[in-house]
Structure 1
Amino acid sequence: MTIKMGRFERVRNVTIAFSILISMSGCALLAMACLLLFYPAGPGNIISISNAIFIGTVYAIALSIVLLVLGILGSVAAFRESRCLLMVCFLLILLMCTVELTAGIVAFLFRNHLTKRYFEDDLGAHYTGDNGTNAYTKSSNSIMIRFKCCGLSGPNDFPNAVNFVLLNPTFNVPVACCKRNESTQNREILNVVRCVSGDIKFVNTQGCFDLLLPKVEQTLYLAGALSIWILIIEICVMIFTIWLFQRA
């Protein structure tokens, strides 16, 4: 009897520890999503011009909150040795595992939404120039100014942007692509006229896609690794929870 009780206590403590890990993983996922959204040097504005990344970020925030609650529930259920709470915890974690696997499959199917061709189509269809009022144009301008880049591959992208050409017939590139005087407080544009006419000396030539792709990929790989880690912990908690349920 003593041996069984000792084993039960050990499994209960391990379940509590893994439940705490779930909560900590949820906090880490939430921190990552907030970092992507609000960190000044990060590619947060990409969320506004990519539906796939926007949906993924919302999913990450929602998932992190649920994981935090599940971790607390699992800890309480194991500590109190409540059969009802243990079963509820098991079913909720099983549901979350199903949701996470489904999200992973959907992300794999929609991976082409993060290709350069996809962003080029969006640029051609939605970018209107520096006076544009739509969210896509504002976010694109903010990215180009912040990271000192121009278009996706470079200044040559804009002659293919239909709305930009129609609304700015005399511009070869938008003002957002112009080089600025970094030594001044307002970062004044060096020469607007020569810049929008396409003078390479006054235009940022680096494409934003190639510049930001490593940052986005790093975040996505980190999020993917964290998701796998969370899934493994959830499976462990389910195993320990059902074991405790049968012996509580």
Structure 2
Amino acid sequence: MGRFERVKYLMVAFNILICLSGLLLLAVALLLLLHPSEIRHIVSINTVIFAGTVYVIILSIVLLILGILGSVAAYRESRGLLMLFFMLILVVFMIELGAAISALLFKYQLTKDYFEDDLVNYYTGDNQTNSYTAISNSIMISFECCGVNGPKDFLHTLEFVILNPFREVPEACCKRNKFTADRAIINAEECFSGTVDFINNKIFVMIFAIWLYQRA
């Protein structure tokens, strides 16, 4: 096998790897976007995160097209297809550059203060009168957390305080029995009165990680 043949098959193998990468990205993004449980809610809670997921889907499809085109072009030794392949690579590079700049601009939205403001302004409590409240409750129950910083966050959440004047925390913050099918609240009265032993005290892990990243 000559040097040209080795380069040719190396390029085919490289483009097959690009196809596999595209398939993997597409599978992960679709799982996040279409998952029937709380994972989908986490993605939809913020427009920036949702836009990022859609961007990954588009990128994965582009990678699939590039991988197939590159493999066919290399195998057939077609100058026209190879030129098209390299032009598309250039276009993708420009899009990636634009996406990197956009990510740099939007990353400052995903701060701890941003999530705190959303909680104060949009959270209503257990009645779930808006999608933000429903999603937040779903996340707090699933991850056994309470608020952004902790249970004290709800003392500053105006609408929650007005609608629930005798509760320290919402029902979603109460500890639940993991060994029952309905995951019933262990002691609602103690939880609502602010007894620490009956309230989830975890800080929402994703928000905390984002906050640490911003400080790094």
- TM-score (structure 1 length as normaliser): 0.77
Q: Greater relative contact order (Cα 8 A, min sep 6): structure 1 or 2? A: 1
Q: Could you report, residue by residue, the CA deviation over 1:146-191 in whole angstroms, capped at 9, with x for unpaired residues?
A: 1111001110011112222233233221100001111211111112
* Displacement after TM superposition at 1:205 (Å): 1.5
Match of 2:181 in 1: 185
Counterpart selection for 2:8 from 6, 9, 12: 12
Q: Among residues 181, 188, 196, which one is paired with 1:200 in the alignment?
A: 196
Q: CA RMSD in A?
A: 2.5
Preserved contact between residue 8 and residue 75 of structure 2 (Cα < 8 Å)? yes
* Residue of structure 2 aligned with 1:29, choices 25, 28, 32: 25
Q: Which AA in structure 1 matches 2:80? A: C
Deviation, 1:54, is 1.2
Are the counterparts in 2 of residues 144 and 151 from structure 1 also a CA contact under 8 Å?
A: yes
Q: 1:188, 1:206 → 2: CA distance? A: 19
Q: Which residue of 2 aligns with 1:76?
A: 72
Quote the offset at 1:52 in angstroms: 1.6
Instruction: Give the corresponding residue for 1:143.
Output: 139
Cα distance change of structure 1 residues 179 and 44 upon mapping to structure 2, 3 Å threshold:
same
2:81 equivalent in structure 1: 85
Out of 104, 107, 129, the position equivalent to 1:108 is 104
- 5+ residue gaps, structure 1, are 221-248
Maintained 8 Å contact 2:19/2:68: yes
Match of 1:159 in 2: 155
Structure 2 CA distance for partners of 1:216 and 1:36, relative to 1, 3 Å: farther
Aligned partners of 1:121 and 1:73: how far apart in 2? 47
Matched, 1:172 2:178: no
Q: Distance in 2 between matches of 1:196 and 1:93?
A: 57
Question: In percent, how many aligned pairs have the same letter?
Answer: 56
Q: Distance in 2 between matches of 1:36 and 1:178?
A: 27
CA distance 1:42–1:19, shift in 2 (3 Å): farther
Aligned to 2:206: 212
1:223 is matched with none
Tell me how far apart the structure 1 counterparts of residues 97 and 173 of structure 2 sit (CA, whole Å).
41
1:38–1:44 Cα contact (<8 Å) kept: yes
Alpha-carbon distance in structure 1 between the residues aligned to 2:207 and 2:64: 30
**SS of aligned partner of 1:68:** helix
State the secondary structure of the residue aligned to 2:169: coil
Where 1:110 maps in the other structure, the secondary structure is: helix
Aligned residues: 212
Query: What TM-score, normalized to structure 2?
Result: 0.87
In 2: Cα distance, 1:104 partner to 1:186 partner: 44
Structure 2 equivalent of residue 48 of structure 1: 44
